[in-house]
Structure 1
């Protein structure tokens, strides 16, 4: 690196160090250099849009200081300018939030031209400048940061700017892959409900996830849902999954499990007969539009379809329990079945005042699955003289195993 070039640590690593948090990523900006200089120093180029290089030893990302100009719709519509005369402050000015627009030099000094430290202390998410409005992905990023920093508030002027972006149709140009990428990150944050609160407040939720937005204001029976509002319940279930540190697939299933309640006929509210089937259909539509990975989509459909049956597990006949296990493919995919049960428990506990209630259905169905797993299908097949009768004999053995365990469970003292 030539003596004229200056290197700064930027972005999340600076923010997290000021918050006393550990940061996994270290990003650097180089001021006063050219691509040729970086290559000569052994850095490896990556990316197509602007010059980013990997350090030859640490593999950390080093980007040349740059400015950008809006040249089209959506988040792809930018042209970038990188020359040795681009300053650090010009580079920081194009960043999204003030708390992400700080730098640290090699001596440890913080460069903070947009008062990010003050906003960190005040716990405010604030845009750096008007350029925020040029990139609709920043709405999703801010919402994701709200889920990470759950006690931060969005600056009023930033929320107003986001609302204007939505009204101008900017979010309509986001591609599905990028929406899912940011959504998945937000779902994995400490309080994912905050992401949806922010998206709803600026109007982006209705444009990006209309199936979820439609849940708000839909009533449920108060004796089963003291929180009443279906949208609020959905976010409570999602936060319950986060508190239990459950994987992305379960959190996405939590988001989707009651989508059908938004389409319940008005004349039967607050009851929601048949909402499971409607939830499956809407879950498939939303998942296809967002291009959700198969693992997440499949579990979400399973939870949407079966959560009512899981809640009623203790009332089911042995044959119906076996039907449930087979329909869920629990014998071949026991881990996914465990995730189904975890999601159903989050659905049960994600209700106002129900957060600590026991959910015996989960261990009950775990015992039922263990009993069915003990049935030796191979031995039954080998002892059966008529191949056509094998499936029914296996089924009868499974039902008998479930019935025996269920009977033992009924004898246990409360």
Structure 2
């Protein structure tokens, strides 16, 4: 029985990166032996066990065979006779198919060290094309390691393209797809994730509403980058640079999908794209089974992001309606995320990445002013029920009117 450290822990040690978790492979052992040693089994599909002390995962060496469609269409076979090399060859990328023995000696049968040095994400074997999930995984790794100069190998991109055209991507469950999308959006270069998916044809299958945006022009006065798809990529880069949470990144990815519905005769203008895009955002949210907080923010950013850009020009009554639509009196955090997404949108324009966004502080101050209106004096005056709500709105409107008078509105930046 031999135990080897495998996969990401080996890769990241060689890259001098932080190691978050360690996976182990056990060669020459049976499930019965693992149980006798005190390991606890995990799940029913894979021969994986938890170490009795550390709780880390130890998997018996196994092979796999394609037996159906999609990510789950595989039959696994574990046996004490299976070698480490046989276990490693079923993995996706050469950089993930390395191992270390107990003495820390590297075992690298498929050239992972060479590909690390060459900064290549390359598949281990032709069996790569049997698992559609690997298209998304490779794009996610590309997003993670792009700052180090990594790229997807041409031959691997070719297999990813074949997978995208095969129809296999449609067999992925929404839950599994969302797991990859959400993790990729939180990588250092989420824009690279979208770029790689687009290059291999997977974006057209997974997020066609986003794929459509590439090649659609916008007014150069507001968008020097012109192309709507390129703008979305820039916004995602800003999200990563400013370490925005997943909710903001998801909203930013979808905020302009309505521009894909604009008739070519109206280009480069996109009148009412905010409202037009809502049905697309709802469809994407549902198809991807995004969490509720991501869904809600995506819809609100889609509908109101131009309100934010024109915040200093909004009437006090419109400003109040905006605050009410976000329920800032009970949930101010969601409005903060909305402001963040809009600022990323404003900064995601060619040459304007460092431009100030005074709308953020303005909206934040307006929210605080409206939230500061006290209910107690109105109760003391005898207001209650619906009348109390109306009186509260009047007071908030008065406060916002005074607030707006104190802030002269400069020309719009959008």
Per the normalisation by structure 2, the TM-score is 0.97
Deviation larger for 395-404 or 44-53: 395-404
Q: 2:257 aligns with which of 256, 259, 267?
A: 259
Q: Say whether residues 1:407 and 2:402 are aligned partners.
A: no
Residue 28 of structure 2 is aligned to residue 46 of structure 1: no
Shift of 1:411: 10
2:64 corresponds in structure 1 to: 68
Point out the more displaced range, 93-102 or 42-51: 42-51
Q: 1:78 to 1:387 in 2, by over 3 A?
A: closer
Q: Tell me the equivalent position of 1:225.
A: 223
Distance 1:194 1:142 in 2: 11
Per-residue Cα deviation, 1:185-217 (whole angstroms, up to 9, x for no partner) = 000000001011111111111011111111111
Q: Is the 8 A contact 1:55 1:61 kept in 2?
A: yes
Asked if 1 retains the 8 angstrom alpha-carbon contact of 2:383 and 2:391, the reply is: no
Q: Secondary structure at the match of 2:285?
A: helix
Q: Secondary structure at the match of 1:164?
A: helix
3-state SS, counterpart of residue 270 of structure 1? coil
Query: Hey, what does 2:86 align to over in structure 1?
Result: 90
Distance 1:388 1:140, change over 3 A: closer
Q: For residues 353-372 of structure 1, what are the structure 2 equivalents within 5 Å?
A: 353-372=351-370
Q: Is the 8 A contact 1:148 1:190 kept in 2?
A: yes
Identify the residue that residue 350 of structure 1 maps to in structure 2: 348
1:265, distance to aligned residue in structure 2 (A): 1.6
* Displacement after TM superposition at 1:379 (Å): 2.5
Structure 1 position 182 matched with structure 2 position 180: yes
Q: Does the alignment pair 1:165 with 2:131?
A: no
Structure-1 separation of matches of 2:171 and 2:408: 57
CA distance in 2, matches of 1:356, 1:274: 27
Retained in 2: the 8 A contact 1:381–1:387?
no
Q: Measure, in 2, the Cα distance between the counterparts of 1:210 and 1:409.
A: 42
- TM-score (normalizing by structure 1): 0.97
- C-alpha displacement of 1:388: 4.5
CA distance in 2, matches of 1:402, 1:303: 22
- Alpha-carbon distance in structure 1 between the residues aligned to 2:93 and 2:383: 72
**Match 1:284 to one of 277, 282, 285:** 282
Distance 1:45 1:378 in 2: 59
Query: What residue number does 2:379 align with?
Result: 381
* Helix, strand or coil at the partner of 1:7: strand
Number of equivalenced pairs: 408
Q: Is the 8 A contact 1:240 1:346 kept in 2?
A: yes
> Mean Cα displacement is larger for which, 391-400 or 330-339?
391-400
Distance 1:36 1:321 in 2: 67
Structure 1 position 266, deviation (Å): 1.6
Question: Residues 1-41 of structure 1: CA distance to partner in whole angstroms, max 9, x if unpaired?
Answer: xxxx0000000000000000011110000000000000000
- Which residue does the alignment assign to 2:32? 36
1:199 aligns with 2:197: yes
Counterpart in 1 of 2:211?
Answer: 213
Residue in structure 1 matched with residue 52 of structure 2 by the alignment: 56
Unaligned runs of 5+ residues in structure 1 are none
Superposed CA RMSD in Å reads 1.3
Identify the match of residue 77 of structure 2 among 77, 81, 91: 81
**Native 8 Å contact 2:10 2:100 kept in 1:** yes
Partners in 1 of 2:169 and 2:79 — Cα distance?
A: 31
- Among 145, 149, 152, the alignment partner of 2:150 is 152
1:247 aligns with 2:245: yes
Is the 1:143–1:194 contact (alpha carbons within 8 Å) kept by the matching residues of 2? yes
Structure 1 range deviating more: 395-404 or 269-278: 395-404
